[in-house]
Amino acid sequence: LLAMGSSLDCIGAIAKTVEDAAAVMEVIAGQDKKDATTAAVPVENYQEELRKGAYGLKIGIAPELFPKGIDTKVEELVRSAIEVLQKHGAKFEEIRLPLAKYASAVYAIICTTEVSTNLARYDGIRYGYSVIADKTKKDQPKDLFEVYTKSRKYGFGDEAKRRIMVGTYALSSGYYDRYYLKASKVRTLIKKDFENALVDVDLVIGPTVPSVAQKIGKAANNPIFGYLSDELISPSSVSGLPGISVPCGFAKPSDGDKELPVGMQIVGKPFGEDKVLRAAFAYEQAMKNA
C-alpha cells in the first residue's frame, strides 16, 4: 500500500456484494493508534444496518451530478435506480452543489502536489524499486545520482511520472499561491456545499462516471480525459465523504458494440457509512428480487 494523496487516500473494499463490503468495513473501520489519519469514532454494526432497508432514507439529487454531456443511457439507468429506491420507501428531494463543477480541477492540483511529495522517498535505496537489484537492466548506474534517476525511470509508470512533474510545478516558487493555495480554498467551499446540502438529506445519489469505460489506450495521449472521467466522484473525494459505487445496469460505449457496466454512486455524511451501505444493499436486493 503506497501513499498517493495523503489528504485524499482512504482504504476501502472492492467486493462482489454490498454485504461483503459491509463485513470488510466492520474490520477496517475505526481508530488505529499507529495511523494518525484514523478517527476515534465508534464503528456501527454495518451488517445489521443493512436489514433496515431504504424506507425513511432522505436522498438528495443534485443537477450538478447530471451535467451536460453525460451519456444519455448512463443518466437513464441511474434515474431508473433512483425510482427503485423510491418505490422501496426512500424520499427524494432536489439539492444544489453549485461548486461541484470545480472539483475535478481541485482534485487534479491537490492530488498531483501530494503525489510529488509522497513519491519523493522512492529513491531506489530506502524505498521502492531499485535498479541495482534488477539484474535485467543492463544500463546499471555508475553513481548515486544515476541510482536515483534510473530507479525512478524504470520504477514509475507514465501516470506517476506525469503527476510528479505537475505536482512539483504547482508547488514551485511563485506557483504555490496561484495553484495549490487556491485549490485548497475552493476545496473548503465545495465541502461547505455538501455540509449545507446534507443538513436536510441523509445521502446524495448520482452517476459514478459520465460514461461507460472507454477502450484501453484512449486516454494515453490525452491525460485530461482521465480527469474528466472523475468529474462526478471528485466532489465527494475532495470533501472527505464516504461513498460507494453500485452497478445499476449496462450500456454500450460510443465506440463499441459490447455493453459495459454503469455505476451509481451513493455519498453520505461524514462517518455515515451505515446509511450509504444501507441504501446500496436495498437497491441490490430490489434488483435481485425484480
CB 234 within 8 A of CB 111: no
- Angle at which helices 72-87 and 273-288 cross, to 10°: 90
What's the confidence (pLDDT) of residue 218?
67
The grid coordinates of residue 220 equal 494515453
pLDDT (tens digit, 9 = 90+) per residue, 146-157?
999 999 999 999
- Model confidence pLDDT, tens digit, residues 177-195: 999 999 999 999 999 999 9
pLDDT at 1: 76
Q: Give the residue from 242, 236, 248 showing the smallest Cα distance to 104.
A: 236
Query: So what's the pLDDT on residue 152?
Result: 95
Total-model pTM: 0.90
How confident is the model over 63-114, as pLDDT tens digits?
999 999 899 999 999 999 999 999 999 999 999 999 999 999 999 999 999 9
**DSSP one-letter code for 163:** H
Q: Which of 91, 64, 283 is nearest to 203 (CA)?
A: 91
Q: How confident is residue 224, by pLDDT bands cut at 50, 70 and 90? A: low
Domain boundaries in the chain? 53-95+200-290, 99-194
- Residue 182 exposed, middle or buried by CB count within 10 Å (0-12, 13-18, 19+): middle
State the Cα–Cα distance between residues 242 and 189, nearest whole angstrom. 18
